[in-house]
A and B are shown apart, each in its own frame.
Chain A
């Protein structure tokens, strides 16, 4: 039960594999284009609050998004634009939340990465790390009560998030309840500025899986094919009733914690090491090597996605902003019990 998978190379090419890969690649590319636009708007002063990018983590994020199905539960975290889009979030809703449009799902009450539509299985993270592990588990318990089978719940976290009590409590509980939960850990080497040496003392985070009694999977997070294969396998195992799965991917955050952060603290040796590779460049190489698309086709896809992103932001930027006079200033859904002393 506790062996780890280690898939690091691209091998056979079945048709399904090609389709899966290219579908995931599209979301990776969309995330990159979306985030580049977002960063540009941020620098232009058009974005209120923080901007957090996933550069270098798109393959891992997309891998989970494409492995999930409609009806599954997904609680993404800070660097999951690709997974969010793959799970079905509309580009416009993402743009709206980042701009603060009143018409977006968060209505200007929350911004950037703190977005979701919980009733559609797309849970909205809070900033306190680790809490989504037990929350997704609760969603899965509800599905179990309702007799819904064939469902998976998944959430993402970073190396720093694994140090929280919430993470521990949640994963332990999910294991006790044998829930179809997948936890994807992006070990991007830094929690904000804190290196992993100050975050944990175990040789590898995946070693913790045995302690929780869950299956551990290890991947090179810069290798898209490995991400798609291993995350896909973890999701399939959870769906098949094998209990919680913990995937640990090694990669490097190729940007600051947020766009306000120049990430000067990142060790240069890591940048030039294999985990410093840009997964999108690796994907281009894998795709062209397999002759699934040529460079021109990839550029053309990028142009098409760029146009979609421009259109989404153009729409969001024209939309009405939140208006304090239109707010009901009420935190309860039960109006009769709200104190109403605004």
Chain B
């Protein structure tokens, strides 16, 4: 029986609710309706009183979670779209993220962000917010790229004693399937070599992992062996695994779906350049979305974000550099 990335998120929440009375879900339309994407389908009925519809008030949703977490609960906040989390940004970065450091009080909230682009999503339903949140001290930022990670990392996120921003990619919701839910997982904070290789490294995460893997598959036809590293967590960032891969290949391309200024790809390149410069046989490269809002029409969107084709182009350049 195949299970999708979205179903894995639903199943993780069902398990969390079943296993831990401290867990509850608060978000817009998450109750009887089951969420805009159905990530909480049936949970309100299965767990009465623990899956609550909120007003359209992202700031208050996060504020409520913070208060509940202070009192020992493990709230999960669903933002309907990652883009709308900016309306709750202040509570996340200034309140939740500073709580432990200021007051020595743990703030174990999990904020689920349905992120990333889909055809027709447009500028306000497509954004990748991980770099924004990773910038602030006091937050953990997770970007699962597989069905297995969507499940196990969400469970791990809720068990973490700190605020977690959980970036789940909408494009993967239905596209990605696995045979079964995982029974074991890599720890949070560890990157994974998704495909071994020796000629060059692609470091990426979330939906771009699958574009990168398609690129590696294509280039393998020409005899190139491309290593693909899935970051899984952008904060903390597993620099050791990245440097280990670059040590094997000598060439680095970092791919992200977010906007190009700063961000995760820049951070990875900066760390490799400062800590592993001598490992590089060529200047490291980055590939990001374009520096415009995310366009609505697929003809534009398909060029705005990196795709396997764009990654192949960049990789050919890197291999011959």
Residues of chain A at the chain B interface (Cβ within 8 Å): 73, 105-106, 109-110, 114, 116-119, 123-124, 126, 128, 131-143, 145-146, 165-166, 169-170, 172-173, 176, 330-334, 336-339
Contact = CB atoms under 8 A, between A and B. Distances in A.
Interface residues of B, number: 48
B72 A170 contact: no
Contacts of B41: none
- Most chain B CB neighbours (cut-off 10 Å) among A116, A165, A331: A331
Contacts of A116: 103
A334 B140 CA distance: 10
A169 B62 CA distance: 11
Nearest to B49: A145
A333 B60 contact: no
Contacts of B73: 141-142, 145
Interface in B61-79: 61-73, 75
A126 B55 CA distance: 23
Nearest to A105: B103
Nearest to A120: B105
B72 A142 contact: yes
Given A138-B64, A333-B100, A169 B235 contact: no
B25 to A, nearest CB: 12
A104 to B, nearest CB: 11
Contact of A128 (B67, B90, B161): B90
Nearest to B26: A141
* Main SS at interface, chain A: helix
Interface stretch (B91-99, B299-307, B311-319): B91-99
A116 B67 CA distance: 13
Contacts of B62: 134
- Most chain A CB neighbours (cut-off 10 Å) among B58, B97, B138: B138
A332 B59 CA distance: 22
A157 to B, nearest CB: 13
Contacts of A143: 71
A338 B57 CA distance: 30
A330 B106 CA distance: 13
Interface of B: 21, 24, 50, 54-55, 57-73, 75, 90-91, 94-95, 97-106, 137-138, 140, 160-162, 188-189, 235-237
Contacts of B104: 105
Given A138-B68, A173-B54, 20 more contacts: A105-B104, A118-B99, A119-B70, A124-B102, A126-B95, A134-B91, A135-B64, A135-B67, A136-B67, A139-B68, A142-B67, A142-B72, A146-B71, A166-B90, A166-B91, A170-B57, A170-B59, A331-B101, A333-B100, A334-B160
Contacts of A73: 67
15 contacts: A109-B102, A114-B102, A118-B103, A124-B102, A133-B63, A135-B95, A138-B75, A166-B63, A170-B60, A173-B54, A337-B140, A337-B160, A337-B236, A339-B236, A339-B237
Contacts of A333: 100, 106, 161-162
A238 B55 CA distance: 22
Contacts of A332: 100, 138, 140, 162
B97 A331 contact: yes
Contacts of A114: 102
Contacts of A105: 103-104
Contacts of B100: 331-333
Contact of B57 (A138, A141, A173, A339): A173
Contacts of B101: 109, 330-331
Nearest to B24: A145
A133 B68 CA distance: 13
- Most chain B CB neighbours (cut-off 10 Å) among A114, A117, A118, A133: A118
Contact of A166 (B60, B65, B102): B60
A319 B318 CA distance: 59
A120 to B, nearest CB: 10
A142 B69 CA distance: 8
Given A114-B102, A331-B97, A169 B68 contact: no
Contacts of B162: 332-334, 337
Contacts of B160: 334, 337
A339 B235 contact: yes
A109 B31 CA distance: 40
A131 B57 CA distance: 12
B189 A139 contact: no
A119 B236 CA distance: 27
A67 B321 CA distance: 73
